[in-house]
């Protein structure tokens, strides 16, 4: 089994287009336990925890939720994969500009 190395991040390629390495956004004090990646060649955005773990793809929003409700930055919000908890379908919404975020109710759980 290959050892994960501290330079693992330097080899990260964009999983969406594979062309150019994604680069880390400047550290945000509110989210210093996460590493954020943004592709220079396509709209892909991803995050993983600073101590390792899987890279999670985030989706940019273009609808009424795109603008940050905290800082007002336009089209700054991204969401993760929907998940279900306590009978509700939720996703995780984060502002790339200010780093604030919360879970968002999408409706009742399916199935
Ligand atoms: Zn890309
Ligand atoms: Zn914001």
Higher pLDDT, 48 or 27: 48
Distance CA 3, CA 12 (A): 15
CA distance 8 to 65: 33
- Ligand number, closest to the Cα atom of 74: 2
User: Do 30 and 75 reside in the same domain of the chain?
Assistant: no
Ligand nearest to the CA of 44: 1
Q: How many domains does the chain have?
A: 2
pLDDT at 30 over 80: no
- pLDDT score of 93: 94
Question: Separation of 62 CA from ligand 2 center, angstroms?
Answer: 15
In a shared domain, residues 66 and 14: no
Q: Say which ligand is closest to the CA of 20.
A: 1
CA–CA gap between residue 69 and residue 49 (Å, rounded): 24
pTM of the model: 0.77
Judge if 23 and 38 occupy the same domain.
Answer: yes
Instruction: Kindly tell me if the per-residue pLDDT of 49 is higher than 60.
Output: yes
Q: Is 89:79 a contact under the CB 8 Å cutoff?
A: no
Q: Is the pLDDT of residue 29 over 80?
A: no
For residue 25, what pLDDT band results from cuts at 50, 70 and 90?
Answer: low
Ligand 2 centroid to Cα of residue 25, in Å, is 15
How many Cα atoms within 13 Å fall on the side-chain side of residue 62?
1
């Amino acid at each position: 089994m290959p050892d994960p190395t501290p330079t693992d991040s330097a080899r990260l390629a964009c999983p969406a287009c594979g062309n150019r390495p994604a680069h880390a956004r400047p550290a945000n004090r509110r989210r210093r336990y996460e590493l954020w990646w943004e592709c220079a060649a396509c709209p892909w955005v991803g995050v993983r925890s600073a101590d390792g773990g899987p890279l999670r793809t985030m989706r940019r929003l273009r609808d009424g939720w795109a603008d940050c409700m905290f800082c007002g930055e336009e089209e700054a919000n991204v969401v993760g994969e929907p998940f279900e908890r306590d009978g509700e379908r939720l996703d995780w919404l984060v502002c790339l500009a200010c780093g604030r975020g919360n879970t968002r109710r999408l409706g009742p759980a399916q199935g």
